[in-house]
Structure 1
Amino acid sequence: MNEAKPIVTCHGNMELFSSLHQLVVNGLPKEPCQWRRSYGRAPRSVHLSASMVPYDADILPDEEEKTLVSRPYFHIYWTDCDMDTYKQTGKDDIAEWQAALKARNIPDWLIVVVTGDDSRVKTKLLQRANVADKVKSDFCGKYTDRCIVLTEPLKLESKSFESWSLFFQRLRSLLLDAFNRHLNKYEEGMRSRREKRNEPGWNYFSYFIVQEELAFMFEMLGLKEDALIQYDELDAMFDQFVENFASGEAVRWLAPLAEPCTNWAGLSLSKPLDLDLRQQVKQNQASLLAFRNYLFSRQTALLFQMGRSWEAAMRAMDYLYNTVVEVKALEIEAPKGAVSCWVILSCLEVLDACNLHNPGQLDERFALYTANLWDYARKKVR
């Protein structure tokens, strides 16, 4: 999941963009930018990156699309045409592109007017500057920041460097605006779902996938701590439901988890995202052990990315102990020794993964928490 990047579509002169593609994707994340979110939350420093893909009207998201990670967030039109070409074909092409965006209520776009390496004649440079003015007049209205000139981008000159700097500043700012717009709407819908958690028909696993999408987005933006918070909230919510169930409260979606245990495979931390296990969770087909394995694997994946293997070992004790308690609370039938086998296998997996992500580092916390895991596994062998 950590390899995912925000999707940006590109249209217009694709041969031109291809010549600049690597410069764009390499330059965008070089400088950090401040992401200021709503609700009084502290700003975050992020290094934005993007996956640039060819524009296709068929992949434009609907306004109501309920995804954060896989949707195209932003749209760029690239042109280096002169005024004559703009009047003959360029204007109509941009108009068609904009019409497709407006039909989906998409306000997140930028038009880039490029002056190429062959623009040595001053009148040609002036012509392209005039094209930019015409584009602003024809398409940008009061949003003149939606058109920017990229001056001789392949030259190693100060004017080119300044032009690139302004381009990246503008693109980062507009990308963050797009993220905020989608995220605010998504979180509003998520809160509405969460508030209905005590209503008949509400399903935790359906909600889990919704909030996990938010975690995926934070992870995509490099905000690992914020992503981890989403999983911790989901963890705490699940704990509360199990406690309520054990106290006699009816929790219908928990019923499938109380089925007899037929698989006690231990935790696997070999990959940061187990898509097969996630699909089971999404379809409400995961057993308690499988669900707990998936949730903890996602938490540890983020901890490892943040260099906190000691915390993964520390959290493992609660994960193992609480899951055993939940097996009893849900009165899950299991063959004798099955749960102990799961504990031992999971302990060994955590220890192996923690050692892999903590090579040769002397850390008292790491030693303490891994020792506790060894001791817990030893007791289960008896």
Structure 2
Amino acid sequence: SQAKTATNKLFPRTGSVIDKIRADFSPKKDEPRILALNFSDSGGMDMESWSEVFTRIKECVVTGFNGQITHYEEDVRRLDAQRMMPGWNYCTFFILKEKMVRAFQMMGMYDEALKQYDELEAAFFQVLKDRTLSWFSSFGGTTPGDDNTNLLDFGKKNYRELILQNKITVFDFRMYLFGRQCQLLIQLQKTREFLERARKFVPSFKHAMREFEKGLSPIFLSAWTFSTCKNVVDVCESIPTDPVPTDAHESAEIAAIKAEFLGNARIQLDTLGIHFSVLPKSLESTVLPSSASLSRPHREAISNPELTHGLEQQANFDNLYVTITNKAIRYCEDCKRFRFAQALRSNLANL
């Protein structure tokens, strides 16, 4: 007893073991790092204790995430403030800001991620307006396969590495950025907004290709337009159905835009069909604009397997043409645009 008393005097116990551990590893009282799990007499764990553990883990994850986002925001603001200084690089700015995008994506914050990409797009258009495209290798669109659009195929090229090395073309960059925006809209199940954005992107980017890259042939432009329009509809159809029924007006609008894309794809088939002699030349004056100048066939400009197969012979082309047109007719009927549907049927009758 005397020995025990002497020991207690030498090593006075001022609290439990768990209190001492908390004192050592939790310097701030409002940030507990140590939690105790209580075992019941039956050998199981107290579920209330587990609930506290999971809550604390979530708090730590959110705290770490907020700290990382704050760090990214400071870096982005600092780099953005230097925009008018010599040596500023848009590609470096893009990579830095995209790190923040990926952090938002990992946390399921798709709206915030999309907002960052939209800001990057606005910054790109400012760069384009200022005609300072020195960070891009060229306009592009000349690599085999560029005509075959797959908006969600980010493994088609090593886009991020090309951006990091300032070797990406304007064509590849625009396709990559738009594809990322589409991916987020799909994750948000914003079908109509996805279609509305694509509706603006296709004609505006096609115009940019004509303006900035004179070396791109009309055949490439038609093949790219066909592939992109069809891919937009394919991607849209892959979006999971919203469990909450969409109102009739919005459903009709979505169907109308899909029909519009498929109608545009069919127009490109008219152009390509005449050029590759699977449609009669007599249609040339009604299909091709007066300014169009199509030389001998350049089949190597087309890499879309569906399109190359369709242009090989008359029967293949007819089958592709009928498939695209019938799909457009179905969407026209869904949105009650019966006159347009009838016009498409007339085109089929003349095939």
Give the TM-score taking structure 1 as reference length: 0.58
Out of 257, 261, 266, the residue aligned to residue 142 of structure 2 is 261
Contact 1:347 1:373 in 2 (8 A): yes
Aligned-partner Cα distance in 2 for 1:155–1:289: 66
Q: Which residue in 1 is equivalent to 2:297?
A: none
More strand by share: 1
Unmatched segments (≥5 aa) in structure 1: 1-128
Partner of 2:58: 172
Residue number in structure 1 paired with 2:99: 213
Q: Check the 8 A contact 1:272/1:301 in 2, yes or no.
A: no
Aligned to 2:8: none
Aligned to 1:101: none
Say whether residues 1:181 and 2:67 are aligned partners: yes
Number of the residue aligned with 1:243: 129
Which residue of 220, 236, 243 corresponds with 1:354?
236
Identify which of 35, 54, 57 aligns with 1:148: 35
Letter in 2 for 1:177: T
Higher CA-based Rg: 2
* Structure 2 match to 1:60: none
Shift, 1:134, TM fit = 1.6
- Which of the residues 188, 191, 197 maps onto 1:309? 191
- Which residue does 1:203 correspond to in 2? 89
Identity over aligned residues, as a percent?
Answer: 29
> How many pairs are equivalent?
249
Q: Distance in 2 between matches of 1:358 and 1:216?
A: 23
Helix, strand or coil for the counterpart of 2:36?
strand
Structure 1's 206 and 274: CA in aligned 2 closer, same or farther, altered over 3 A? farther
| Alpha-carbon shift at residue 214 of structure 1 (Å) | 0.9
Higher helix share: 2
Asked whether the 8 Å contact 2:209–2:216 carries over to 1, the reply is no
In structure 1, what is the Cα distance between the partners aligned to 2:73 and 2:42?
Answer: 44
Name the CA shift for 1:295/1:273 in 2 (closer, same or farther; >3 Å): farther
Confirm or deny that 1:191 pairs with 2:77: yes
Answer whether contact 2:140 2:172 (CA < 8 A) is retained. Answer: no
Q: Distance in 2 between matches of 1:282 and 1:218?
A: 21
Q: CA 1:141 to 1:292, structure 2 compared with 1: closer, same or farther past 3 Å?
A: closer
Choose from 225, 231, 256 the match for 2:111. Answer: 225
What is the rounded CA distance, in whole Å, between the counterparts of 1:139 and 1:359 in structure 2?
49
**1:259 and 1:332 in contact (8 A); partners too:** no
Q: 1:191 & 1:130 partners in 2: Cα distance?
A: 48
- Equivalent runs, 1:1-382 vs 2, <5 Å: 130-143=16-29, 145-152=32-39, 160-245=46-131, 250-254=132-136, 256-258=137-139, 261-263=142-144, 264-271=146-153, 276-357=158-239, 363-381=251-269, 382=271
- Contact in 1 for aligned 2:154/2:176 (Cα 8 Å): no
Once superposed, what is the RMSD of the aligned Cα atoms?
3.0
Distance 1:151 1:258, change over 3 A: same
- Give the unaligned 5+ runs of structure 2: 1-14, 272-351
CA contact (8 A) 1:268 1:346 kept: yes
Q: Which moved more, 1:168-177 or 1:228-237?
A: 168-177
Name the amino acid aligned to 1:341.
A
